[in-house]
């Protein structure tokens, strides 16, 4: 049930989410092809943060993956075709046999925050042009407990400039700013 008043910062929301749902650190096998790609620069940071784990896989740039990227970045079709050519592959975080990211522990992500992939830090927020939006994820407690982007930001203790900065870092890491 959603809150009717402006929520307070709740640093435990993702922990509470993990008690009930799979969280954003989980992907069903059939959804792996649609997981966010992990760029070279992000992968270097992840490896430095947990050198004991080699937690990436290559998956095909399927038509559905490319279609999804183009939906997320409606003005970057040509760049997507260049960065993610059909019949090639892209890197994703590896999942275990139950579908959980191999960097996940019972205490949450083992990676220090500063080396986590940009999409991990950004979720559940997204940016469309000038608008800051959110994914409507049923299994995300932030989405379930809030009614607006502002409330979600409040709950996570984040603000709009932070989200825009993360989004800009993600775009840059994925090579979408080249040639601009």
Binding residues for ligand SF4, rule: CB under 6 A, are 13-14, 17, 23-25, 93, 101, 103-104, 109, 111, 116-117, 120, 123-124, 139-142
User: Which CB, 77 or 112, lies closer to ligand SF4?
Assistant: 112
User: Which CB, 7 or 124, lies closer to ligand SF4?
Assistant: 124
The least distance separating ligand SF4 from the CB of residue 128, rounded to whole angstroms, comes to: 19
Distance of alpha carbon 140 from alpha carbon 124, whole angstroms: 8
User: Which CB, 36 or 79, lies closer to ligand SF4?
Assistant: 36
The least distance separating ligand SF4 from the CB of residue 132, rounded to whole angstroms, comes to: 15
Distance of alpha carbon 109 from alpha carbon 74, whole angstroms: 31
Alpha-carbon separation of residue 56 from 18, 19, 44, 65, 80 (angstroms) = 22, 26, 11, 17, 21
The least distance separating ligand SF4 from the CB of residue 29, rounded to whole angstroms, comes to: 16
The least distance separating ligand SF4 from the CB of residue 33, rounded to whole angstroms, comes to: 16
Identify whether the C-beta of residue 61 lies closer than 8 Å to the C-beta of residue 89: yes
User: Which CB, 79 or 123, lies closer to ligand SF4?
Assistant: 123
Q: Are strands 125-128 and 131-134 parallel, antiparallel or unpaired?
A: antiparallel
The number of residues making up the chain comes to 180
């Amino acid at each position: 049930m959603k809150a009717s008043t402006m929520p307070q910062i709740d640093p435990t929301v993702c922990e509470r989410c993990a008690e009930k749902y799979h969280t954003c650190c989980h992907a069903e096998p059939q959804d792996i092809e649609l997981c966010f790609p992990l760029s070279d620069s992000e992968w270097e940071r992840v490896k430095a943060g947990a050198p004991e784990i080699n937690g990436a896989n290559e998956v095909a740039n399927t038509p559905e993956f490319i279609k999804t990227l183009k939906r997320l970045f409606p003005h970057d079709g040509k760049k997507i075709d260049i960065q993610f050519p059909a019949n090639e592959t892209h890197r994703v975080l590896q999942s275990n046999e139950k579908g959980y990211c191999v960097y996940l522990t019972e205490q949450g992500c083992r990676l220090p925050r500063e080396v986590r992939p940009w999409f991990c830090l950004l979720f559940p927020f997204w940016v469309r042009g000038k608008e800051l939006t959110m994914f409507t994820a049923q299994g995300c407690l932030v989405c379930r407990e809030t009614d607006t982007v502002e409330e979600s930001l409040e709950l996570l203790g984040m603000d709009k400039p932070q989200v825009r900065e993360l989004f800009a870092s993600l775009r840059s890491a994925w090579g979408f700013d080249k040639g601009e």
